[in-house]
Amino acid sequence: MKRIDAIQLDALLQGAKTIEEDGLGVKVARLGSGDFLKLYRRKRLLSSDLWDLPAQRFADNARGLLRLGVIAPTVLDVLMISERRLSAVLYQPLPGDTLRNRLRQLDAGQRPALVRRFGTFLGELHQLGVYFRSLHLGNVLLLPDDSFGLIDLSDMKLESRPLAPWKRRRNLQHILRYAEDIDWLAHQHVDSWLEGYADSASRRDTERFSRDLRKWLQAR
């Protein structure tokens, strides 16, 4: 981790293109080099972010995913800007488009194959012990070689064993948070999604996942 001051941060952001921002300022910027800088703002004076920096979590998770064979951004540095209550991660972005955008571009006849592939990818993540609480179709990239990658990695835990059933169930709820995603995954192409999950998860885990999905739909 590198500590920099506000002047150094402003110099780093000089000429950068804002990718994402909120009412408090820039959240993600593309620098002149093409690298991305993702900024995390500590909202309270006393916060767990003081000793568990989200920027460091992003970096650790990215490196952990790469060790597991899951495509993730390459982290270049983690920065601390204390006077502005900011931490930041500097990384090389992945090429490609979000899975959500790609599904929007396809017609109903083309979507099932891609939804099935996402189901297989999800099962692989669960088997690898990847518990990604921010998982949704906007945080999965479809890369130019047609493989999947993950972005926005701070809210993730990498475990040493396949995910427990309750975590798979919870992750299902994380994924199904946007109406468009729900329509594709849980309604229009649900069979394809479950078939894909079965390709990489055990029969027992797939049956639980299917049952949890049905219960989730009934409770809506």
Q: Where are the domains of the chain?
A: 2-92, 97-219
**What type of residue sits at position 182?**
I
Which pTM does this prediction carry? 0.92
Q: What is the CATH architecture of 97-219? A: Orthogonal Bundle (1.10)
Q: What is the pLDDT of residue 50?
A: 54
Q: What is the pLDDT of residue 24?
A: 82
**Residue spans of beta strands (DSSP E) within 120-182:** 130-132, 140-142, 148-150, 156-158
Element (H, E) at 97: strand 97-98
Cβ proximity of 63 and 47 under 8 Å: no
Q: How far is CA 211 from the centre of its chain?
A: 25
Cβ proximity of 71 and 148 under 8 Å: yes
> Which ranges of the chain have pLDDT less than 50?
46-49
- The Cα–Cα gap between 37 and 28 comes to 6
Domain covering 2-92 in this structure, CATH number: 3.30.200.20
Mention every residue, 6+ apart, whose C-beta is less than 8 A from residue 215.
none
Q: Which tokens sit at 122?
A: 């999800």
Mention every residue, 6+ apart, whose C-beta is less than 8 A from residue 174.
132, 133, 134, 135, 136
Q: What is the pLDDT of residues 4-58, one digit of tens each?
A: 999 999 999 999 999 998 888 899 999 999 999 999 998 755 444 455 799 999 9
Q: What is the pLDDT of residue 44?
A: 57
Q: What is the pLDDT of residue 187?
A: 96
Give the β-pairing of 36-41 and 74-81: unpaired
Q: What is the pLDDT of residue 138?
A: 96
Give the β-pairing of 86-92 and 36-41: antiparallel
